[in-house]
Structure 1
Amino acid sequence: MKRFFRKALTLLSVYYAYTIEYRAEVILWLLSNSLPIILMGVWIEAAQGGRFNLSPVDFARYFLAVFIVRQITVTWVVWQFEDEIVQGKLSPRLLQPIDPVWHHVASHIAERMARFPFTLLLIVVFFLLYPQAFWVPKIANFLLFLLASVLAFVLRFIMQYSFAMLAFWTERASAVENFWFLFYLFLSGMIAPVEVFPESVRAIVLWTPFPYMIDFPANILIGSPVDLTRGFSLIVGWILVFLGLNRLLWRRGLKRYSGMGA
């Protein structure tokens, strides 16, 4: 156990130092994930007519929560892994006594540590510009939000890492992720709260993994009513599904790997 923590701290420190070297890039990536803040203005205007059950303040809080969740759950492992396969960079990592996935996990966690101060600053600016949306979440809600966000990140990471395994068979595994992202964009709650979906559509969407990666943790944070048992059960269930798929593709993919130009 002590060796595990020593290796984990070493990886985190290395990737954190690497991330800090590119602070400007971190800020740009942070701003590139500000789509929820832009959409917030659209939905606030739409809510003025009272056509939805949510008020303008509710929409403001929701999309701020979406922005926060996005900072926690954003992933890019498919592009990193695809590059490693195509250029043969995976070979030296296979010689190391740890699974290559931990390099990517450490990279993602270190990047979040680096972007945290900038995210906090943007949240403060948001409340200065829109003070009527300020609220303090209950401690229980905040803790459940952290748990849901971590699980959402795990689901998003394993899902994308599973698509990355296709790089053993094709040089454009990221194309699958780009296609899958369309469903993620419209069904996760990033474009619109799942609550405003038609009832028949919402009933189907809630069985997919998408709303539990954004809408579910965001609603927990702002205190909206959610089915916690169903939400956490489906997150864990989808994690296990994609984890099984990932391990299957990993074992079969390694048999095809030949270094450069697999």
Structure 2
Amino acid sequence: MGVWMQAAQAGEFELTPEEFMRYFLSVFIVRQFTVVWMIFDFEREVVEGRLSPKLLQPIDPVWHHVAGHLSERFVRLPLSVMLLGLFFLLYPPAFWLPGLGDILLFIFITAMAFALRFLIQYTFALFAFWTERASSLEQFWYLFYLFLSGMMAPLEVFPPTVRAVAEWTPFPYLAHFPAALLVGLPVNFVKGILVMVGWGLLFFTINRWLWRKGLKQYSGMGA
């Protein structure tokens, strides 16, 4: 954030230093509610055979992970509020009050971003039926997520060609899109929703196919 603020003070970008501060604060908030780690838990369950008892239950085992992630959001909330207060104490010019409509859209899109990121990681986790290092896929994916999601820099500073390509991938909609809505940066809302839904349907289809194939593989290993 400090690097981009210094660049903005030099007049190199359209965004002001205050907008950069608000943007990175918004990204921080988004990350608090979209962090996902289920691939590591699912990988251990498959490798250690702890998935077998869950398969006997009348619900899909993924709902155990969903419940764990949702409950963890409430645990993070008090700490996130404290860090917000500290941020505004250190950077008073960054303080702003988003409109009610922007806040509601932010909550809705952040929930969609969490669902999409969870679905993507769950899909990668299903490769644990064939390999003991399914988490390596997440680590490789994270490299693209780190640079194209808007975590390192808002898409507004990207070269136009790079931004145009990135906007058709799922990455910007996992951080930049909800953060931009909260800050008030211009976004194509309809396109963002359609891209998120499209990637969600694609990964859901792949997920269900891998789940059916993976269960046969898991049973074949003697589970």
**TM-score interval w.r.t. the shorter chain?**
over 0.9
- Give the whole-Å Cα distance in 2 for the aligned partners of 1:203 and 1:171: 36
1:171 has 2:93 as partner: no
1:108-147 → structure 2 map (5 Å cutoff): 108-147=69-108
Query: Which of 50, 62, 81 is residue 101 of structure 1 equivalent to?
Result: 62
**Alpha-carbon contact 1:159-1:242 (below 8 Å) kept:** yes
Q: Look up the equivalent residue of 1:149 and give its one-letter code.
A: T
Structure 1, residues 220-247: CA drift from partner, whole Å, max 9, x if none? 0011111110011111111111111111
| CA spacing shift, 1:261–1:135, aligned 2, 3 Å | farther
Residue deviations 1:145-189, cap 9 Å, x none? 111000000000000000000000000000011001000000000
The verdict on how the C-alpha distance between 1:59 and 1:259 changes in structure 2, with shifts beyond 3 A counting, is farther
- Once residues 84 and 206 of structure 2 are traced to their aligned partners in structure 1, the CA distance between those partners, rounded to angstroms, is 37
**What TM-score do you get using the length of structure 2 for normalisation?**
0.98
Aligned to 1:239: 200
- Give the aligned length: 223
After superposition, residues 183-222 of structure 1 pair within 5 angstroms as 183-222=144-183
**Contact 1:62 1:222 survives alignment (8 Å):** yes
2:42 and 2:36 map into 1 onto residues whose CA distance is 12
* Aligned-residue RMSD, C-alpha: 1.2
Partners of 2:52 and 2:101 in 1: how far apart?
45
Letter in 2 for 1:119: S
Tell me by how many angstroms 1:258 deviates: 3.8
Q: Structure 1 residue 259: deviation in Å?
A: 8.8
- Distance 1:119-1:69 versus aligned 2 partners, 3 A rule: same
The code of the aligned residue for 2:215 comes to L
Q: Which runs of 5+ in 2 are unaligned?
A: none
**Matched residues in 2 for 1:88 and 1:104: separation?**
16
1:150 and 2:111 correspond:
yes
For each residue in 1:182-226, what CA deviation from the matched residue of structure 2 results, as whole angstroms up to 9, or x when unmatched? 000000000010111000111111000000000000000011111
> Cα distance 1:88–1:195, how it changes in 2: closer, same or farther (>3 A)?
same
- Structure 1 gaps, min length 5: 1-39
- Cα distance in structure 2, aligned partners of 1:52 and 1:102: 44
Map Cα deviations across residues 38-78 of structure 1 (whole Å, 9 max, x no partner): xx122112212110011110100000000000001000011
| Match for residue 210 of structure 2 among 228, 235, 249 | 249
User: How far does the alpha carbon of each residue in 1:106-164 deviate from its partner, in whole angstroms, 9 at most, with x for none?
Assistant: 00001111110000110011001111110001111110111100000000000000000
Whether the 8 Å contact between 1:86 and 1:260 is mirrored in structure 2 is no
1:68 aligns with 2:29: yes
